[in-house]
Amino acid sequence: DITERKATEEEVRRLAFYDTLTHLPNRRLLVDRLQQAIASSVRSGKQVAVLFIDLDNFKILNDTLGHGIGDLLLQQVAKRLEHCVREGDTVARLGGDEFVVILEDLSGEVFEGARQVEIIGEKIHAELVRPYDLDGHQTNSTPSIGITLLTDRETTFEELMKRADMAMYQAKGAGRNTLRFFDPEMQAAVAARTALEGDLREGLK
């Protein structure tokens, strides 16, 4: 009977690769998943995107309501993120209030891929700004989301993460509670297309 040994091995693996609070992949597993996604992208020509998500003013919530309530928020955020992505995508927790989403199999055309990412990013944003019930405490939280796409096949894990992190800080600098692309040209193109679609809807009315 090797049941106990198997259970022990599974527990060791869980502790090594998964966050104990949210049960999402941790940084160690994230590195492996993103490296696999990069390799797959090089073979298929499909794009990969990384979304870096930071919860605005999380420290204030922790300091005012306590770490237990903060942990409940992180667990609920993790569940909402998992509901927003497709099968095959990855949601991970880096630590603290920082989460990373890897989106795979996006369009090989740069701006079409960016548009696909924006749609998912907006879906994530809409989910995360919905009110939270944290053990009887009704509270709100907003995210700042940074986005980068793998446009250069030579880009490393570290570089992708750095770009997504920088884009997240651009979102913070823009007033928080929003999303920003690392590439200014891509940001401008997506914003222009969104504005055009809004104008078309108004024109149809």
Catalytic residue ranges: 97
Write the burial class of residue 87 (CB in 10 Å: 0-12 exposed, 13-18 middle, 19+ buried). Answer: exposed
What DSSP assignment string belongs to 108-151?
SSHHHHHHHHHHHHHHHHHHHTS-EEETTEEE---EEEEEEE--
Contacts of range 150-154, beta carbons closer than 8 Å, 24 or more positions apart: 150/37, 150/38, 150/41, 150/47, 150/48, 150/49, 150/50, 151/47, 151/110, 151/183, 153/38, 153/41, 153/42
Six-digit token pair at 161? Answer: 């993460």
Task: Give CA–CA dist 114/57, Å, rounded.
Answer: 28
Six-digit token pair at 21? Answer: 């609070």
Question: Which parts of 3-46 are beta strand (E)?
Answer: none
